[in-house]
Amino acid sequence: MPKEKIVVVDDDEFMREGLLETLERPEFSLFGFDNATDGIDAISDGSATLLITDMRMPGMSGMELLEQARRLDPKLPVVMMTAFATIETAVTAMKTGAFDYIMKPFDANQIEMVVEKALRHRRLLAENEYLKGELARKFSVNDFVGGASCMKSVFEQIRQVAPSGATVFIRGESGTGKELVARSIHAQSPRRERPMIRVNCAALSAGVLESELFGHEKGAFTGADKRRIGRFEMAEGGTLFLDEVSEMDLALQGKLLRVLQEKEFERVGSSETISADVRILASSNRDLEDAISEGTFRQDLFYRLNVVSVDLPPLRERKDDIPDLVKHFIEKYNREEGTHVRAITDDALGVLRTYDWPGNVRELENIIERAIVLGTGELIDVPQITSGLSRGGKVPAGAVGGSSSGQSFEPVPLETVERDHIMKTLDYFNHHRQNTALALGISERSLRDRLKRWSADDLTP
């Protein structure tokens, strides 16, 4: 681990050497100077983690050194020392950007506490900057999975719209990744240093949603026992994502329209007007043009929200992306679950390619997660896939085990087909009944009853 570089500047040799001796530790790399010019040289390469300087020095003063340090490295904490402290000098130092201010003479415990606090602050800033960078990379369009032409146009739209302040309306069926697009836009925008706040408009009643958005004052309604800050205030300077905005009550739509037009609002039960510096992103899995025709959505609000429209295609229209998505989810859940699944079989991938995906990418992710959690081998095969498919989706005939084209067909009893499939699944899981039942979507008792009924002498239940 690299050492913390601490620079001490003080023209008083006795004070400077005493301070360096007090701070001498294996984890610190200490540098002492008797003038501000040498101190600037020591911090100019950005490697310093703390600057401690006297305020009064010949030539360049400590205050001038502080100003130079702030220009060179705004994140570098600077601790000021002086034997001639006044309230005015303390206020000036802090306003100029000093991290702390201590009076001479000071004891060893005092300076050690101040140094530890300053270094902890520096580490937190560095960690915060790293995490924000990781977040921006995580939601970068370069990390979206999929090379289908319809997705490439989506990626290009995100790149173009993210740096702007434009309101964006994200359309797509449930499970297509609308929130992921919203987070990507925010993470690549100038507002990324501020929060992105999400509101699920479909999950809240009109009265509750109004309070969630705008906040309320104590006593505004029954149960309002204290003031509540709304999501608009929480998102100040950042982004507010209105998920499933089509489900918002008409009366509340009018209040939202006013905020978009005038950039201001009032808390419920208050006459105080609050400004709203917030970028709006909205989404819906419904066709808002139809909702406008039905009278359930305001046309003027639609125009305000639909400045830029991003349309996410359903998974059934981008099936070429399924292999890459499967690989991505296998890697993801191997990391999270500590498993070692290598790949998916061609037969299982064939099932995924022919399924019509009513739940879109979210459903695919759930199926892969389920297969990894319940699987026992290094490969995901057909039984683990088919057991997780939604009853609302369709797998064309012949999708499992290859096409039946050109083959003769022989009708057999349904129970024979069921028995054959259950026995193959049982073999796949090495006769582990719990995993077999889970994969088949039946109870262990149902599985046991079937095995008893068939009384298969050549199998060991």
| Span 168-180, average pLDDT | 92
Distance separating alpha carbons of residues 411 and 178, to the nearest angstrom: 45
Kindly state the average pLDDT of the residues 259-276. 91
pLDDT score of 402: 43
Confidence bin at 169 (pLDDT 50/70/90):
very high
Domains in the chain, ordered, with CATH?
Answer: 4-134 (3.40.50.2300), 142-313 (3.40.50.300), 317-454 (1.10.8.60)
For the segment 80-94, what is each residue's pLDDT rounded down to a tens digit? 888 776 667 777 778
Three-state DSSP at 18 gives helix
Backbone angles phi, psi at 315, to 5 degrees: -65, -30
What is the pLDDT at residue 427? 77
Mean pLDDT of 340-350: 91
> What is the pLDDT averaged over residues 168-173?
95
H/E stretch holding 165: none
Tell me whether residue 336 is exposed, middle or buried, using C-beta atoms within 10 angstroms of its C-beta: 0 to 12, 13 to 18, 19 or more: exposed
- Interstrand relation of 264-266 and 273-275 (parallel, antiparallel or unpaired): antiparallel
Label residue 236 by pLDDT band (50, 70, 90). very high
Mean per-residue pLDDT, 41-56: 89
Q: How far apart are CA 350 and CA 52, in angstroms?
A: 66
pLDDT at 148 over 70: no
Q: Which of 95-104, 345-354, 382-391, 433-442 has maximum average pLDDT?
A: 345-354
User: Would you state the pLDDT for residue 418?
Assistant: 79
Residue 153 binned pLDDT confidence (cut-offs 50, 70, 90): confident
Looking at residue 345, its pLDDT comes to 92
Q: Tell me, what amino acid is at 189?
A: S
Task: State the average pLDDT over residues 17-25.
Answer: 90
What DSSP letter does each residue of 80-93 carry, written as one string?
Answer: EEESS--HHHHHHH
pLDDT band at 170 (very low <50, low <70, confident <90, very high): very high
In sign, the C-alpha dihedral spanning 145, 147, 153, 155 is: positive
- The residue that leads in pLDDT, 459 or 71, is 71
Is the Cβ–Cβ distance between 217 and 269 less than 8 Å?
yes
Range in 213-222, 311-320, 418-427 the model is least confident about: 418-427
Hey, what are 94's tokens? 């802090």
pLDDT reading at 358 higher than 70:
yes
* Dist CA 328 CA 334 (whole Å): 10
Q: What percent of the chain has pLDDT over 70?
A: 87
Q: What are the start-end ranges of the H helices in 268-397? A: 288-294, 299-305, 322-337, 346-354, 360-374, 382-386
Least confident of 42-51, 149-158, 235-244, 347-356: 149-158
For residue 14, the tally of other CB atoms under 10 A from its CB is 8
Q: How far apart are CA 62 and CA 171, in angstroms?
A: 57
pLDDT tens digits for range 237-267: 999 999 999 999 999 999 999 999 999 999 9
- Of 423 and 259, more confident: 259
pLDDT at 455 over 70: no
Task: For 113-137, write each residue's pLDDT tens digit.
Answer: 999 999 988 888 777 665 655 555 5
pLDDT score recorded for residue 391:
52
The beta strands (E) that lie in 192-340 are given as 196-200, 239-243, 264-266, 273-275, 279-284, 308-311
pLDDT of residue 452: 79
Say what percent of the chain tops pLDDT 90.
Answer: 42
Task: Give 393's pLDDT tier (boundaries 50, 70, 90).
Answer: low
Indicate the range of 181-190, 306-315, 372-381 predicted with least confidence.
Answer: 372-381
**Residue 294: count of CB within 10 angstroms of its CB:** 8
Q: For residues 146 and 322, give the distance between their C-alpha atoms in angstroms, rounded to a whole number.
A: 8
